[in-house]
Amino acid sequence: MQEKILILDFGSQYTQLIARRIRELNVYCEIYPFNHYPAPDENVKGVILSGSPYSVRDAMAPYPDLQQVKGRIPLLGVCYGAQHLTHNFGGEVLPSNTREYGRARLVEIDNEDPLFTGVTPGTQVWMSHGDTIARIPDGYRITGSTGDVKVAAFRIDGEKTWGIQFHPEVYHTTEGARMLGNFITNICGCRGDWTPESFVEMTVRALREQLGDDRVVLGLSGGVDSSVAALLLDRAIGDRLTSIFVDNGLLRKNEYEAVLEAYRKMGLNVRGVDASAEFVDELRGVSDPEKKRKIIGRVFIEVFDREAHKVQNVKWLAQGTIYPDVIESVSVNGPSATIKSHHNVGGLPDKMHLRVVEPLRLLFKDEVRRVGRALEMPGEILHRHPFPGPGLAIRILGEVTPDKLSTLRDADEIFINGLKSNGLYDKVWQAAVILLPVQSVGVMGDERTYENTVVLRAVTSTDGMTADWSHLPHEFLADVSNQIINRVKGVNRVVYDISSKPPSTIEWE
Ligand code: XMP
C-alpha cells in the first residue's frame, strides 16, 4: 500500500513547502487542517505539525487533538508545532526578547539523535517566531541549540516525538532536506517509492475502479494540467474519454491547429470546436478586463456544454485541478482572498450536472510535469509556457477587435519564435506581447507615422505567484524589436517591461 506522511496545517505560509520537500524525497504526503484530519491508518508512517502565524499563548491558538498520534507514531513539530508540544504538555513558552528571525547556527547538535544523523555542527538554520521555548517538560531532551536559542531542537524520551523551533523546509536552512530525510527514513521508516511512474500506475488503477464503464468529457486548454489529466484518463479508459478543445479566437497564431494536431498524435479522442466568431462577437465593445473575463468564461461554458451534449451517456466531467487549488480551498485560513477569477470555468460542473473527476488534485505543478514526462508527453506541450484562459483578450488593453488580434498575433509570433530559436524559451517562465491602446509618433522612410506600441513581457518564476522580469540579452531584444517594427503593420514602437511581481502582475489586465 501507499505509505504516506500527514502534515497538519496551522496556517503557516510554509506548509506547502514541507509537503514539497517530502515529496522530493519520493514519499507521498498530504496536508490537512490541524482540526480536521483522518485518523491515521497503518499506511501513515508519521505526522508533521507545521508552523503558524499564531502564538501558542493566544486564547484562539489552534489546538490539535493528537490522541491518535502522539506516542503512537512518529511525530515532528516544526516551530509552532514544537512550541505546542512544549506549552501544552507541561513546559513553558514565552515571548522572546528579541524576535527570533532569520539565520542562526546550530552550534550544538546531538549527532547520536536519528534526526541529526550526518548533519554538520554549526549548520545554518532559519528561525521565524516571536515566542521561544523557555522550559521543556520533564522527559524532554534538548538535542540542538543555537547561540541565542537553547531549545532549538528536542525529543521526548521513550516516544518517537521530536520538535524543532527552526524551519527545515526553507531554503535558508542549509541541511533542512537532510533533517526531513532523516525523519522520513530513519524515524518513520519510509521506503521512498513514490515516483511519477508509481503515481501513474496507482491513478490509472483508481480511475478504472472509480469510472467503471462510464463516459467522461474533459476540456483541453493546450496547457500542461488539462493535457496530463487527459493522458492519464486515456490510459485508464481509452476512448470513453472525449476531450474537447475549443478555439475561442483568442489563441496565439496557428496555436489551435498545432495543439489539436499534437493531441491527435498523442492518441487522444479529441474534438476541436471552432467557436472563435462567437467569442469575438460577444466581446465587441467591451473594454473592462473583468467583464471580458466573465464573458469569456460564460461563452466557454455554453460552447463546452453544447459540445459535451453531443457525446452520448456522459456521466463525468474531468478537470485538471491541482493541489495548490485544493489546499487553498480547505486551508486553516479559509479560501484565500487572492483566488483570482482565473478559475475561468468554475461554473461548469454545476451547469452540466455531471460528477467531477480530478486525477491531478494531489499534485504540485512541477509534479504534474514529471507525471507528463512519465506519460511520454511531447515536449511541445510539456514545456509550454502558461497561457491564460482568456488568452489574448487580456493582452489587448481595452476593446478586442479582429484587427488588434491579428496585429498582436504577428508580434507575439516573432517574440516567441525568437525566444525558441535563441535557446531562451525554457529559461523564461512565461512570455507575452501586450498591445497598448496608445499611439505615438514615428518615422518610416520619409514619412511620419502615428501607430501602436507593443510591450514585450518575459518573467522568471516558479509558480506565477511572484515573478521577476527576465534579464534577456539586449542584442536579442534589439533583434525582436527590429523584426516587429519592420514586419508587423501598425506597430512603430516596442518597449520591454522591467517590473517584477509584486507589485506588477504578469499580465497587464
Ligand atoms: P498575474 O497576471 O495575475 O498572472 O500575475 C499570474 C498567472 O496567471 C495567469 N492568468 C490567468 N490565467 N485566467 C487564467 O487561466 C485568467 O484570467 C488569468 N489571468 C492571469 C497569467 O498568465 C500568469 O500565468
DSSP assignments along 227-250, one per residue: HHHHHHHHHHHGGGEEEEEEE-S-
181 lines ligand 1 (CB under 6 A): no
464 lines ligand 1 (CB under 6 A): yes
Asked if domains 4-187 and 402-496 share a fold, the reply is no
**For residue 425, which of 449, 460, 474 has the smallest C-alpha distance?**
460
The Cβ of residue 15 has, within 10 Å, a number of other Cβ atoms equal to 22
114 lines ligand 1 (CB under 6 A): no
Atom of ligand 1 nearest to the CA of 389: 15
| CATH class, range 402-496 | alpha beta
H runs (alpha helix) in 361-421: 365-374, 379-382, 402-421
Give, using CA atoms, the residue closest to atom 7 of ligand 1. 464
Greater pLDDT, 100 or 472? 472
Atom of ligand 1 nearest to the CA of 221: 15
297 lines ligand 1 (CB under 6 A): no
Assigned C-alpha cell, 381: 506541450
497 lines ligand 1 (CB under 6 A): no
* Segment 43-71, tens digit of pLDDT: 999 999 999 999 999 999 999 999 999 99
How far CA 138 is from CA of 91, 155, 244, 442, 454, in Å, comes to 8, 11, 63, 79, 68
List the chain domain ranges. 4-187, 196-382, 402-496
Global confidence as pTM: 0.81
Whether 27 contacts 4, CB under 8 Å: yes
507 lines ligand 1 (CB under 6 A): yes
Mean pLDDT of the chain, nearest integer: 93
H runs (alpha helix) in 47-154: 80-87
* Segment 425-457, tens digit of pLDDT: 999 999 999 999 999 999 988 889 999 999 999
Q: Does 347 score more than 90 pLDDT?
A: no
Whether 7 contacts 19, CB under 8 Å: yes
pLDDT band at 326 (very low <50, low <70, confident <90, very high): confident
User: Ligand 1 centre and the CA of 389: distance in Å?
Assistant: 8
481 DSSP 8-state letter: H
Q: Does 340 score more than 50 pLDDT?
A: no
Whether 12 contacts 128, CB under 8 Å: no
pLDDT score at 335: 40
User: Ligand 1 centre and the CA of 340: distance in Å?
Assistant: 8
Element (H, E) at 307: helix 289-308
User: Ligand 1 centre and the CA of 46: distance in Å?
Assistant: 36
User: Ligand 1 centre and the CA of 388: distance in Å?
Assistant: 5
Which of 209-247 are b and which e, b meaning 16 or more Cβ less than 10 Å from the residue's Cβ?
Answer: eebeeebbbbbbbbbbbbbbbbbbbbbbbeebbbbbbbb
Choose the catalytic residue: 3, 100, 169, 509.
169
pLDDT band at 332 (very low <50, low <70, confident <90, very high): low
* Residue 153 CB-half CA count within 13 A: 24
- In this structure, are strands 140-145 and 123-135 parallel, antiparallel, or unpaired? unpaired
* Segment 267-305, tens digit of pLDDT: 999 999 999 999 999 999 999 999 999 999 999 999 999
Phi, psi of 444 (to 5 degrees): -135, 115
Give, using CA atoms, the residue closest to atom 10 of ligand 1. 388
**For residue 359, which of 496, 250, 233 has the smallest C-alpha distance?**
233
Instruction: Give catalytic status of residue 79 as yes or no.
Output: yes
Q: Does 394 score more than 90 pLDDT?
A: yes
Atom of ligand 1 nearest to the CA of 293: 17
293 lines ligand 1 (CB under 6 A): yes
Cis peptide bond N-terminal to 388, omega within 30: no
For 255, the 3-state DSSP assignment is helix
289 lines ligand 1 (CB under 6 A): no
Assigned C-alpha cell, 186: 530513519
Instruction: Give catalytic status of residue 167 as yes or no.
Output: yes
12 DSSP 8-state letter: -
Choose the catalytic residue: 3, 29, 79, 175.
79
Taking the C-alpha atoms of residue 425 and residue 387, their distance in angstroms, rounded to an integer, is 14
The crossing angle, in degrees rounded to 10, of helices 196-211 and 224-237 is 60
| CATH class, range 196-382 | alpha beta
Query: Domain 4-187 carries which CATH code?
Result: 3.40.50.880
pLDDT score at 324: 75
